[in-house]
Each structure stands twice: as C-alpha cells, then as structure tokens.
Amino acid sequence: MAVYPPIEAVTHLGVQVARLRVGAAAAAGTNVRLADPAQLHLTLAFLGEVETARLVEVESALGLAAEWFRESRDASPRLSLGGGGRFGRGRFTVLWVDLRGDVEALHMLARLIRSRLRHARVPHDDKPFRPHLTVARPGDRVDPADVEADQATLDAYQGPSWPATELLLVRSHLGPQPRYDRLAAWPL
C-alpha cells in the first residue's frame, strides 16, 4: 500500500539528489543505485507475496480503510518531502528523504490499513511505520563521509507541499532495478 507524491514534488527532489555527492557519483558511473523517480512512493504497509485468490480480501481491507480515513477528515493531508536520513551500514546503507506536513494523518491511515489487514487475517509486515522515500542505495560504494554529508544536505531540504489524494495497492518486483505495478486505487 502506497501513496505516490506528484511529479512536481518528485522533480524538485530529483534536482536536489543530482546535487548530492551520491548524485555526482552516479553521474561519474558509480553504481549508487539512485531510486527511479517514477517509482518513488511512501509505503504504508508491506504484504510480501499474496496469493491471487486473496487479492479481493486485500482490496476490501484497503477500500474500507480508505473510506474510514476519508470520512474522518475534511480534506486530503498536505505533505512535503524534506529532511533526510539513512538506514543500515556498509554495503546496506540507504539514503532517504523524510516527510513533513500532516504526517500524523499518514500514521492514522497506516494504522487503519494494518487494522483492516489483521481483521482479514492477511499477513503483513508489522514494523513501525516510518514514512520516507528512498533516494539512493549507495552501500559501501561511496565514502561514508560523503553519505553523511548528503544526509546533512537533505536535512536542510524542503520540497513543495502537495495533497495526498490517493491510496494505491502496488505489486513489487524487487531486484537491481525494482519496479512497482499499480493494481488498485482509492481516493483519500
């Protein structure tokens, strides 16, 4: 389950990423695995493999969560990309950009989704929700001091504000060049 930022927000972030040291490393041919801008999304819950026969249950759970969320609010939450951080160490280092604005609304939506998935007995990853967009997976191919400098640069970054208007069910195809297929959508 995901929320996709609009192209304007992704483009704005892309300009910032190109200015980072990981961006320069990628331009010089280092495999820092920059995220594909067309695939950038905020994951609200992760299911893993789901049998095709159970997709109806997943879609029903998401539809109910989106409906309850929509009815509890006067408007779509306004968000922006800004700030940054990293996960992992060494070859598992991931650089990400944070989310600002009505982030509590996304926390509420994630709780609703997970509650409906539990109710439907659909297995899902129950890790704490940490809204972010992965921008690069530099691993150990970039000096840690450069990744730290990029994180500091992202800490000062503030992208344009946008309304989160749609919840999407996506299928992940992981690997060196991950991609995500949109399976269903609900208005927020």
- Quick: pLDDT tens for 99-143: 999 999 999 999 999 999 999 999 888 888 999 999 999 999 999
pLDDT of residue 21: 96
Round to whole Å and give the CA distance between 177 and 35: 9
Round to whole Å and give the CA distance between 72 and 75: 9
Residues of the chain predicted below pLDDT 50: none
159: number of Cβ within 10 Å = 22
- What count of Cα atoms within 13 Å lies in the side-chain half-sphere of residue 182? 13
pLDDT of residue 50: 83
- CATH number among 3.90.1140.10, 3.40.50.2300, 3.40.50.720, 3.20.80.10, domain 2-173+180-187: 3.90.1140.10
